[in-house]
Structure 1
Amino acid sequence: MNTFEIAGRAIGPGHPCYIIAELSANHGHKLENALALIRIAKESGADAIKLQTYRAETLTIDCDAEPFMIGHGTAWEGRRLYDLYKEAFLPWEWHEALFEEAKSLGIHCFSSPFDNSAVDLLEKLGTPAYKIASFELVDHGLIARCAVTGKPMIMSTGMASEEEIAEAVQVARNNGCKHLALLKCVSAYPAPVEEMNLSTINDLSLRHACPAGLSDHTLGTTIPVAATMLGATIIEKHFTLKRSEGGPDSHFSLEPDEFASMVHSVRDAQASIGTPSYEITPSQEASRQFRRSLFAVKD
């Protein structure tokens, strides 16, 4: 199983869990909010901030016909796809400022591109890696475009069958991707805990000989910690300044104190795993005097 680096940070078994703070649509169309979220991600102990790079016009069309309306079973039910993407859109002219802010703070910044023009922009900005969103895992052209850059790739697997995951991995590797990771994902917002099947994380790693982790959309912080205990080497989680301010993704995103708590818990969880051991650890030495002992009190 291979490990790899993103901008000098080792990722994979034997290395600290790589924690990605997903900014997504939680900027509220204010650059200052996006910049603040980068600073919060750094302060929380995250390793990276992740953006989403697209234009509504390249994802869908401005139309209210049934195929372009969001159906039942999501938080965005009844809305037009075009309107949702317009609301969630991260202005392209912000990208340079966001990358520069991250660089100045010493936190990685990369993005999920949704078409080739987005890859072109991210290449100009010197992105250190690419993230393929679950919805784009079947877009082999996009995967190939990212792969030919030679940058590390992280791919989410929500909604994908075993065959679709294998095909995406093959496309990435056939087009030059030497450093790949896969994330278990349930593409529901929020995702039900009982559908997480976290055991899949290790199976993904074994099947595809690559690091594996979790892109999490459950509420709270329990599932990322559980995933870490099961061997996840990457954790991705949405975060926001304040859920009450609303936004397309705010309802399943963590607030700053919650995100920081998750990072701390993930670090503690990973540190606690260790290896099978029956040695007396240093912290226990002083407690040995409280054990039952035999002494001769008479000669």
Structure 2
Amino acid sequence: MLADRGYAPLPGTVVLERALSPIAAGPTALAPLGGRMIEPALWDSLTGMQEAKSVIERRVILPLAEPTLAERHGVAQPKAIVLFGPPGTGKTTFAKGIASRLKWPFVEIEPAALAGDGSERAAARLAEAVDRILGLPAAVVFVDEVEDLASVRSAERRVNPGVTNEFLRQIPRLRDVPYHLLVCATNWVSRLDPAFLRPGRFDYVLPVGPPDADARAAIWNRYVTDITDERIDVDILVQRTELFTPADIEFAAHKAAQLAFEREHFEGVHHRAMTDEFLAAIGETRPTLTSEMIETFRNDTNTFARS
């Protein structure tokens, strides 16, 4: 047919093609789902927590970002993962970071939002939401506090069994379509029904733990650089924040900036935050973590982690 229109083969020509990620959905498609595009720089801006970040990059992101290379080596693209760890350790941020790195829309399903409806209506709403998500060209689908849906004890679930069963029915649908990744997060992985975590449903169960000393130093250095040009003893900040999550460190850093601001305003002392302000802010910040929570996390990692 093309020859009839004057086209002819060009000797010596080689045509190469490369699979491209799908074009992100526009705001019109995302708005009804409460979805959004995440700032592309988020993943690169995640400092500290390097161990968790490296595992997520290698196991989750790279096979999805480079599908041709993954197929060449027989690496299956992940379809669903669980992130677990104590409150405030960055599970939600990592989920958004995955969307940022892949340049896929981020859509959140909130179990608590389904709890107020009756069983049939809540299950129908969940199915309708998944239908709309599957209509997107790509999506990172995030479910926080998934224990509200899949606790081993039904009394601990915030939704009724009909919604839980509907969610279990929807997971294979999400797994069956390309360019969709389900990310579930929980503070209490030991409370999840073991059948929920089986490999056929979730490819990886990944720990996101408290920041160690090196991670705390990286996080502190990031905030100190933004807040002050004074010489700060970061080592002592790291020592004093052993039970702090990244969110706790962020709060204390901003509090130190506020203290320095108020000092200059009320006392006329013209220098930016110093080590004393940071230590005072740490002293006024209640840590999220306890020694018991850290020990539980270590035990859970040994029992449930799958990477």
TM exceeding 0.5: no
**Of Structure 1 and Structure 2, which has the larger fraction of its residues in strand?**
1
**Of Structure 1 and Structure 2, which has the larger fraction of its residues in helix?**
2
With normalisation by structure 2, the TM-score equals 0.28
Larger Rg: 2
With normalisation by structure 1, the TM-score equals 0.29
